Amino acid sequence: MGMLRAGLCPGLTEETVQLLRGRKIKTVADLAAADLEEVAQKCGLSYKALVALRRVLLAQFSAFPLNGADLYEELKTSTAILSTGIGSLDKLLDAGLYTGEVTEIVGGPGSGKTQVCLCVAANVAHSLQQNVLYVDSNGGMTASRLLQLLQARTQDEEKQASALQRIQVVRSFDIFQMLDMLQDLRGTIAQQVTNHLTRDWDGRRFKPALGRSWSFVPSTRILLDVTEGAGTLGSSQRTVYLTKSPRQPTGLQEMIDIGTLGTEEQSPELPGKQT
């Protein structure tokens, strides 16, 4: 990004590009840092033209500072909080998934991450009537389970069908497919990702996989764990811990049952909330 070439912006001719290259100015950054008076003298270009060129290029390639008040107005109309459909999970997430943020669900194998994702997808598609993009990278997504969750919410087959239509499933089994798909995404969305657990380097504690650099990305992280003392193997009781949140104190926990997700009583307040 940023190599100077003819036509990059109005007023940048091939001749100018060559003259600048003679002064070792090859990129936009070089031009921005250069002493324009000196360049104008040595190159025989007009100082005013160079200043104008610099201004246009900077306007094109730098980030324009937005005013906080304008941004707030815009966010008020475009931000939404999407309920997950699971009352206790909503409590942990402070009403649900916030658009413009990444929420991470961490858990060991069989802890219920995919079940939670399917339940959220069903809720958003049916109760909130919003579109869902479900990216499956490990083959855990089954349409029949999704249908089951929808059938628990409504008997009306037409409503079930229209909810299913709002859910778009993309299967990407390598990182390049994933990147391709993400680059084409547009619009305001709330992102929910799942992650596995791995052990710390000294073998003592469990921690989310994918390392430190990833750990900075999600704003909210919840941990799913099999409830202690739940009794028989194959029990569907899970404990959800809030381990990172920008709004709530961490350490909150709730219990959910992944076998009956979505069939529990609906929470009394409205499922979606506009801020």
Partner 1 sequence: MCSDFRRAESGTELLARLEGRSSLKELEPNLFADEDSPVHGDIFEFHGPEGTGKTEMLYHLTARCILPKSEGGLQIEVLFIDTDYHFDMLRLVTVLEHRLSQSSEEAMKLCLARLFLAYCSSSMQLLLTLHSLEALLCSRPSLCLLIVDSLSSFYWIDRVSGGESVALQESTLQKCSQLLERLVTEYRLLLFATTQSLMQKGSDSADGPSSSKHPCDGDMDYRAYLCKAWQRVVKHRVIFSRDDEATSSRFSLVSRHLKNKGSQGLWKTSLHFCSKKCSPF
> Rule CB under 8 A: is residue 215 a binding residue for partner 1?
yes
Q: Across 97-219, where does the E strand assignment appear?
A: 97-98, 102-107, 132-136, 167-171, 191-199, 206-208
* Piece of 17-25, 58-66, 114-122, 161-169 that binds partner 1 (CB under 8 A): 58-66
The CA distance from 269 to 275, in Å, is: 15
Tell me how far apart the terminal alpha carbons of the chain are, to the nearest angstrom. 38
Answer for the pair 211, 123: CB distance below 8 angstroms, yes or no.
no
Give the tokens for residue 205: 């504690």
Distance of CA 171 to the CA centre of its chain: 17
Q: How far is the CB of 16 from partner 1 (least distance, A)?
A: 18
> Rule CB under 8 A: is residue 23 a binding residue for partner 1?
no
Answer for the pair 112, 139: CB distance below 8 angstroms, yes or no.
no
Radius of gyration of the chain (CA): 26
3 state DSSP class of 256: strand
Alpha-carbon distance values, 176 to 86, 121, 183, 215 (Å): 33, 24, 11, 21
Of 6, 51, 255, 270, the one binding partner 1 (CB under 8 A) is 51
> Rule CB under 8 A: is residue 206 a binding residue for partner 1?
no
* Piece of 50-58, 104-112, 120-128, 130-138 that binds partner 1 (CB under 8 A): 50-58
> Rule CB under 8 A: is residue 101 a binding residue for partner 1?
yes
* Piece of 38-46, 51-59, 187-195, 257-265 that binds partner 1 (CB under 8 A): 51-59
**Per-position x/- string for 221-250, each x denoting binding to partner 1 as judged by CB under 8 A, each - no binding:** --------------------x-xx-xx-xx
Of 21, 42, 55, 199, the one binding partner 1 (CB under 8 A) is 55
Alpha-carbon distance values, 186 to 54, 133, 190 (Å): 31, 11, 12
Alpha-carbon distance values, 241 to 107, 126, 187, 235 (Å): 10, 27, 30, 18
Beta bridge partner(s), residue 274: 80
Of 219, 227, 237, 267, the one binding partner 1 (CB under 8 A) is 219
* Piece of 29-37, 110-118, 141-149, 178-186 that binds partner 1 (CB under 8 A): 29-37
> Rule CB under 8 A: is residue 78 a binding residue for partner 1?
no
> Rule CB under 8 A: is residue 79 a binding residue for partner 1?
yes
Beta bridge partner(s), residue 105: 194, 222
Of 216, 228, 233, 265, the one binding partner 1 (CB under 8 A) is 216
Give the tokens for residue 231: 């009794």
> Rule CB under 8 A: is residue 59 a binding residue for partner 1?
yes
> Rule CB under 8 A: is residue 183 a binding residue for partner 1?
no
Task: Name the residues that contact partner 1, by CB under 8 A.
Answer: 1-2, 28-29, 32-33, 51, 54-55, 58-59, 61-69, 71-72, 75, 79, 98, 101, 201, 212-213, 215-217, 219, 241, 243-244, 246-247, 249-251, 275
